[in-house]
Amino acid sequence: MDKAEIVALILGQQYNRMPYHRAATAYAPTNIALCKYWGKRDQVLNLPVTSSLSISLGDKGTTTTLTIIDSEEDKVILNQKALAKDSVFVKRLVDFLNLFFSQRSIHFLIDTQTNIPTAAGLASSASGFAALVLALDKLFSWALKPHDLSILARLGSGSACRSIWQGFVEWQVGHRLDGMDCYAVPITHTWPDFCIGLLIVSQQEKYLGSREAMQRTVATSVFYSAWSRKVNHDLAIIKRAINQHDFPALGCAAESNATAMHATMLSAWPPILYALPATVSAIRQVWDLRAQGLSLYFTQDAGPNLKLLFLTKDRDTIQREFPTVEIIQPFKR
């Protein structure tokens, strides 16, 4: 099946219905995977090889307003700047919106604001596609179920399916070829002391997109099958650690999951290496501090930046050791 068929299946009789409002706004948080998604079993529908687990970042994310406009084409504003219609970002959004209509008779102004650095491995596409799907749902009054919203967001970007929820979220791998059982569900446990530190070591766009990097890893790394087995193991440990608020167990499993993912990438051909010298020195600093007794771990996505994992009691120490870190408490509002 292709993406448009999945959209039509989910919308059913509501497909092609006219919008209910003239404009709608929605917000979705970005999310950081503690147990990563790396590799697709279906490139078109963004179906993963394994399940994954993330934490959403509260008020760090994307707010999108969709307004119906009298125009022959969509217009996109990103963080107050109008984008050229031939930019990669605009094309990706327009292609996604086209999935929702058999023929386009209406066009949108898509005004999107994000408070996270775009394309620096901080999953801005995840919150972006989730916010867009939520805004469409409001505009057309579809009132879709959360798992259907999660599937629609996945069609835009895999990890976006987890951004439909706040808190800890599990993206279930599913088994069906059409992916209708492959969506994210919330894990109800909260953990008010849980902190994430965004450590930006470079604002540069990532040199290789996650789609291409995943495909290359699956196709060429001899370690790939070991990686996917490890994910199932890590996932079980992380879920138990969340349940029991066992921070060292969670930190060790999340860090080891991230380093294994990056090792698998490095064993691809041509090798993929997102770390910069500044990434390596920050990793060494985390390890040194841990050797001195600090309960501090890291995770890293498809980019050079790190996300530090720690508890509120160590907040001041972390801020002192990493003066540029931006600290987020996902459960504190």
Residues that bind ligand PMV (CB under 6 A): 33, 36-38, 52, 123, 125-126, 157-159, 210-211, 301-302
Q: Is the CB of 126 or the CB of 199 nearer to ligand PMV?
A: 126
Q: How far is the CB of 303 from ligand PMV (least distance, A)?
A: 8
Q: Is the CB of 302 or the CB of 318 nearer to ligand PMV?
A: 302
Cα–Cα distance, 270 to 221 (Å, whole number)? 10
- The secondary structure of residue 50, as a DSSP letter, is S
Q: Is the CB of 61 or the CB of 158 nearer to ligand PMV?
A: 158
- List Cβ neighbours of 101 (8 Å cut-off, separation of 6 or more): 16
Whether the Cβ atoms of residue 114 and residue 28 lie closer than 8 Å to each other: no
Whether the Cβ atoms of residue 259 and residue 56 lie closer than 8 Å to each other: no
Distances (CA, A) of 328 to 159, 188, 317: 20, 19, 15
Q: How many CB atoms lie within 10 A of CB 295?
A: 14
Task: Please give the span between the terminal C-alpha atoms of the chain, in angstroms, as a whole number.
Answer: 41
Q: Give CA 171 to chain center in angstroms.
A: 11
Q: Is the CB of 52 or the CB of 221 nearer to ligand PMV?
A: 52
Q: How far is the CB of 235 from ligand PMV (least distance, A)?
A: 12
Burial 115-129 (b: 16+ CB within 10 A, else e): ebbbbbbbbbbbbbb
Q: How far is the CB of 27 from ligand PMV (least distance, A)?
A: 19
Q: How far is the CB of 125 from ligand PMV (least distance, A)?
A: 5
Q: Is the CB of 37 or the CB of 142 nearer to ligand PMV?
A: 37
Q: How far is the CB of 52 from ligand PMV (least distance, A)?
A: 5
Q: Is the CB of 142 or the CB of 227 nearer to ligand PMV?
A: 227
Q: How far is the CB of 293 from ligand PMV (least distance, A)?
A: 30
Whether the Cβ atoms of residue 25 and residue 63 lie closer than 8 Å to each other: yes
